[in-house]
Amino acid sequence: MSGSENTAKLNFLGHAGYVIERGPLYLAVDPWLDGAAFDNGWDQLVPAARFDPQRVTHLWFSHEHPDHFSIPAVKSIPAERRSQVTVIFQETADKRVVSFLRNNGYTRVIEVTPGQRYDLGGGAVLTTVPARDGDSCHLLELGGLRVLNFNDCYYTSVAEVEDVMRAVGVKPGEVDLMATQFSYANWVGNPGDTERRRHAARRKLDHLVMQMRTVRPRYVMPFASFVYFSHEENAYLNDGVNLPSTAVARVREEGYTAVMMRPGDTMELSNEGFRAAAEATNERAKELDGAVEAVRRAEKPLRKSAAVPLDDVLTTVRAGLGRLRNGVSRLDRTLMRLRLPRAVFELSDHRVLVVIERLEDVRVEPLNGAVSADVVLSSEALRFAFAQDFGFDTLLVNGRFHEARAGGAGVVMTLCGQFGYVRRKVSLAASILRRRLVEAPRLALERLRNRALAP
């Protein structure tokens, strides 16, 4: 892997996005270039660098979340060039992403099955493996070089990571560069729950460590966490996020070499390039730390939302519940009602309660104490949550709500899961059986294995 004119380069765009460039190959991975994400809940910590839309030969997207599958980035490639770009995306039941791409002029859209190797040309091969919650990772092989991109993929055990490694065809110690998320990226508690968020941040680093110990890569690139909660309703969530330098220190504590990239940085994918990037990591991490600290000092702008008319909110809620009822089987619908017989949302800007009974009846109640709210949120946030089948997923990520009672967030999580079954065309009943009969025994065995291997 010595440097040469044909050596690949990684041009970091920002957050989880980068470009791999070697000869004619110009592969853009999860580019997010402009604007907010997750219903105006996230912005980039540092402005993204640009890619050359005239040179893009391939696009790969890990999943549909807007900080990875960014519609402005997709549309930044001129319409006349889109038919010349090959897009690689995991095979999904809903076909939402691939349909959108094809409707916008991308005629070379390749849906890859789990573990399918796709030849990019020039000796470059990309293998994609799906993960839970619609995410996916990939292994990029460039001759003798291997880059494993875990982005947001969450694995509960060593066994799951080992499964991924088998699917992409690598053994421990064979990956040159592993890239992975390093801080939490979702709702974690109410404004006063700072220690809860710090605990979540530590757990995220523990997860990174589990990946490292299993993969045993030569270099580790913490990334996919260069964002901040950027709405006035969720800005408090920034108080516990991991600093980039904290992630670097944890990588080094485990005996691995960290590389940290800033938007616009370029790293040659060679021995010399990796070493140079590692040597520059302290300075880069310190600069990125400064951006996090500026957020905590309230020096970065926050977004605001206007109140939505109550009638519009109620119409959207009823329409969303109709999609939910009609999108699942009768058995699943019954199970969903048992799981969530009632949901109560307090609208902070209208000072009323929206009460949902049995996923069907919707009514408005006054704030008189007769009915207790589960969560508090703005009318705009609630409307968005019901307007899209991924709306509650967005709400959990952007954290634009507070618990009104202990455990109230469970309502948001339950609705997120229920709309997820509709979106992915998956049976709730079948999923429950699989978790209890397959996944639970496997996790129990994994715990026993970890206990046996513990010093």
pLDDT-based confidence at residue 272 (cuts at 50, 70, 90): very high
Q: What is the pLDDT of residues 224-234, one digit of tens each?
A: 999 999 999 99
Residue 153: pLDDT over 70: yes
pLDDT at position 444 is 75
pLDDT tens, 41-83?
A: 999 999 999 999 999 999 999 999 999 999 999 999 999 999 9
Q: How many other CB atoms are there within 10 angstroms of residue 394's CB atom?
A: 22
Average pLDDT over residues 222-248: 98
> For residue 189, what pLDDT is reported?
98
The model's pLDDT over 337-362, given as tens digits with 9 standing for 90+, comes to 999 999 999 999 999 999 999 999 99
From its phi and psi, is residue 270 left (phi > 0), alpha (psi between -120 and 50) or beta?
A: beta
pLDDT of residue 443: 72
pLDDT at residue 454 in the model: 58
The pLDDT-based confidence of 93 (bands split at 50, 70, 90) is confident
CA angle 79, 59, 176 (to 5 degrees): 160
Note whether 98 and 111 are within 8 A (CB): yes
* CB neighbour burial string for 430-450, b if at least 16 within 10 angstroms, e if fewer: ebeeeeeeeeeeeeeeeeeee
**Start-to-end C-alpha separation, the chain:** 36
Amino acid at 276: A
Average pLDDT over residues 433-445: 74
User: How far is CA 120 from each of CA 32, 105, 142, rounded to the nearest angstrom?
Assistant: 22, 20, 10
What digits encode the pLDDT tens for the residues 369-382? 889 999 999 999 99
For β-strands 17-22 and 25-29, DSSP reports them as: antiparallel
Q: Determine the Cα angle at 342 with ends 341 and 343, to 5°.
A: 140
CA distances 186 to 14, 40, 152, 181, 288, Å, are 19, 14, 12, 13, 20
Question: How far apart (Å, rounded) are the C-alpha atoms in residues 324 and 392?
Answer: 12
The pLDDT of residue 3: 47
Model-level pTM?
0.92
Neighbouring CB atoms inside 10 A of 117's CB total 13
- 403 and 190 in contact (C-beta within 8 Å)? yes
Q: Is the pLDDT of residue 5 over 60?
A: no
- Cα angle for residues 46, 47, 53 (degrees, 5° grid): 140
Strands, DSSP E only, in 311-393?
A: 342-347, 352-357, 361-366, 375-377
Share the mean pLDDT of the chain.
94
> What integer is the mean pLDDT of 122-140?
94
pLDDT tens digits, one per residue of 282-324: 999 999 999 999 999 999 999 999 999 999 999 999 999 999 9
Are residues 258 and 251 in contact, defined by beta-carbon separation less than 8 angstroms? yes
364-419 confidence digits (pLDDT tens): 999 998 899 999 999 999 999 999 999 999 999 999 999 999 999 999 999 999 99
Share of the chain above pLDDT 90, in %: 88
> Is the model's pLDDT at 455 over the cut of 60?
no
Q: What is the dihedral of CA 266, 272, 275, 279, to 10 degrees?
A: -70
**Distance from CA of residue 81 to its chain's centroid?**
28
pLDDT higher than 60, residue 28: yes
Q: Which two tokens stand for residue 79?
A: 């319409």
Task: Answer whether residue 193 shows pLDDT above 80.
Answer: yes
**Would you say 237 and 399 are in contact if contact means Cβ atoms under 8 Å apart?**
yes
> What is the phi-psi region of residue 124: left when phi exceeds 0, alpha when psi lies from -120 to 50, beta otherwise?
beta
